Chains A and B, each alone.
Chain A
Amino acid sequence: MGFKEIASSPLLYGLVIVGILMVAAYAAVFLKKAYGRCLALGFDRKTVNGVIKSSLTFSVVPSISIVIGFLTLSAALGVPWPWWRLSVLGAVGYELMAADMATKGMGYESLAAMAQANDPKVFGAVMFVMTIGIIGGLLFVLVPFGKKLTTGMMKARKSTSTWGVVFSSCFMLTMVAVFLPLMVTGDPVQVAVLATSAVVTVLLGLLIKVTKWAWLNDFVLAITLIVSMVSAVGWNALLH
């Protein structure tokens, strides 16, 4: 059996489907437990359901972009493996990069060239490389230190000194401090889209204040994302 036959084999489909069902069940258990915890902490159902609605509507567009990444990968690696990699632990950017680097490391010019060579052992190597590369963070940090990290943050926040509040804010603010300058020094379309996103968010906030359409809060992130992504097409035509 060659590379392509293994990449599309019923065995691999079966392994992937079982794995994805396991991960979906894992997420469902967390959802049920956390939902119950929210109610116990005093949230009303309307608020929690609103958060779920907002998360679902917002998640559609980024999920579609993951499907685009899947179509790119599946052209060379078949359907099941990219389906698995993009549903569990991976991210579109990582999987495309990892597959490309693994390919070039083995001496092929591209993913397509590697698939053309049809060597089954190469597919095996790609599977191992893409798997081992992604589990580092979970194995070396999350599993041994996840509880300490999260409970430590909560303790810091609860401390009577106001430093706890400042300390816990520093993580998100560091994220802003890193991403914003890198985006601003990137291409001008990126800056324009960033600004558009900020303006749309402000306008929606004002609309909600004036109209008292509290239900619109659940859709602000999704609307901002779609409008700003559409604006990227216009900005790209204008600035490039």
Chain B
Amino acid sequence: MSKKDNAALTPGEKYINWVHNFGRVGIIVIILYMLCMPVITCAVFDCFPPIASVLKGGAGVLALFIPLGISEVLSYTPIVGSACYVTFLTGNVMNLKLPCAINAMKLAKVDQSTEKGDAISTVAVAASSILTICVIAVGVVLAVPLNNSGILQNESVQVATNYMLPALFGGMFLGLLGNGGGETVIRKKLLIPALPALIVLVLGLMGIISSGMEGIAILVMLPVTLLWARFLWKKNIIKVEPNPDRVDPAEEETATEL
């Protein structure tokens, strides 16, 4: 893009262009670095594995995780918006980045897929990423004393950690199903997830889908939700109205100070 074209853009458009250009370049650079790591290590230590070993060990992993990775990016990118690059690059999307982004939009009383929602999600996810990198680094430094103390292998700690996702989602889902702090609400919103939830429930009880397949299930259920929501919207069963619970953050702050 020429300087003249760039000057004609609004600040919002310049920001979006920057996010996606920097995001893509950063992702490509880091993916290339990731691929170089095993190459450099194997070259220095002369331990390149036979292709057959990589295929044998990798066939199952690739068959499961490539479609899963694709489905997760397709499903979650519309939720996190332009925070997607830092979200997916730093990983731990379900248990960390997604709740961070949703919580940020709730606290800031903005809706997803808006400029404000995008920007505040990016702040939240980037801050969370830096903290996680630091905590893991501290964990690495303390790895030996932590292991010796046995605290992280304690049964209660293991049990608590096993149930982290439901501990997170109970409150988070309540917020998603409620009115939230955004400018609009959808009347009878609960009808939208009702049909896909029923289908997932039946498929889950039949054992066709189970925990671990959420990414693919979301991708499959998305068209169902969209078609069902379209039907409900066209029939005027669900309606979009101004949010009666919304308090302007500036007004709320003044009221608190008074």
Q: Are A165 and B240 in contact (CB under 8 A)?
A: yes
**Distance A68 CA – B146 CA, assembled complex (angstroms):** 10
Min C-beta distance of B140 to chain A, whole Å? 5
Within the complex, which residue of B54, B66, B114, B131 is in contact with A157, where a contact is CB–CB below 8 Å? B114
Tell me which of B54, B90, B99 has the highest count of chain A C-beta atoms within 10 A of its own C-beta: B54
Q: Are A182 and B123 in contact (CB under 8 A)?
A: no
Q: Are A182 and B69 in contact (CB under 8 A)?
A: no
Min C-beta distance of B101 to chain A, whole Å? 9
Within the complex, which residue of A169, A179, A201 is in contact with B171, where a contact is CB–CB below 8 Å? A201
Main secondary structure of the interface of B (DSSP, over half): helix
Q: Are A167 and B226 in contact (CB under 8 A)?
A: yes
Q: Give me 18 A-to-B residue pairs in the complex whose CB atoms sit less than 8 angstroms apart, sorted by A's number.
A: A30-B85, A62-B95, A63-B136, A64-B135, A105-B57, A127-B42, A132-B58, A136-B65, A137-B69, A147-B16, A150-B84, A153-B112, A157-B114, A165-B111, A166-B230, A170-B222, A179-B214, A185-B205
Residue A168 lies at the interface, judged by CB distance under 8 Å to chain B: yes
**Distance A182 CA – B47 CA, assembled complex (angstroms):** 43
Within the complex, which residue of B111, B123, B130 is in contact with A24, where a contact is CB–CB below 8 Å? B130
Within the complex, which residue of B18, B75, B256 is in contact with A212, where a contact is CB–CB below 8 Å? B256
| Closest partner residue, chain A, to B16 (CB atom) | A151
Report the interface size for chain B: residues with CB under 8 A from the other chain. 162
Min C-beta distance of B245 to chain A, whole Å? 11
Q: Are B128 and A55 in contact (CB under 8 A)?
A: yes
Interface residues in B49-88 by Cβ distance below 8 A to A read 49-50, 53-54, 56-62, 64-75, 77-79, 81-86, 88
Interface residues in B107-166 by Cβ distance below 8 A to A read 107-108, 111-116, 118-120, 122-133, 135-137, 139-140, 143, 146-147, 152, 156-166
**Distance A200 CA – B175 CA, assembled complex (angstroms):** 12
| Closest partner residue, chain B, to A69 (CB atom) | B161
| Closest partner residue, chain A, to B211 (CB atom) | A182
**Distance A67 CA – B239 CA, assembled complex (angstroms):** 45
Report the interface size for chain A: residues with CB under 8 A from the other chain. 156
Q: Are A233 and B107 in contact (CB under 8 A)?
A: no
Within the complex, which residue of B27, B35, B120, B128 is in contact with A38, where a contact is CB–CB below 8 Å? B120
**Distance A174 CA – B79 CA, assembled complex (angstroms):** 11
Q: Mark A107-134, 1 if CB is under 8 A from B, else 0.
A: 1000000000000111111111111111
Cβ contacts under 8 Å, A206 to chain B = none
Q: Are A178 and B78 in contact (CB under 8 A)?
A: no
Q: Are B78 and A150 in contact (CB under 8 A)?
A: yes
Q: Are A58 and B107 in contact (CB under 8 A)?
A: no
**Distance A228 CA – B168 CA, assembled complex (angstroms):** 8
Cβ contacts under 8 Å, B37 to chain A = 12, 15-16, 19, 84, 127, 131
Cβ contacts under 8 Å, B125 to chain A = 55
| Given A137-B66, A173-B177, A229-B167, 14 other A-B residues pairs in contact with their CB atoms under 8 A | A15-B40, A33-B15, A34-B126, A58-B99, A71-B146, A74-B143, A102-B61, A103-B57, A132-B62, A138-B27, A142-B88, A150-B77, A153-B113, A174-B196
Cβ contacts under 8 Å, A136 to chain B = 62, 65-67, 69-70
Cβ contacts under 8 Å, A33 to chain B = 15, 18-19, 22, 122
Q: Are B73 and A224 in contact (CB under 8 A)?
A: no
Min C-beta distance of A70 to chain B, whole Å? 6
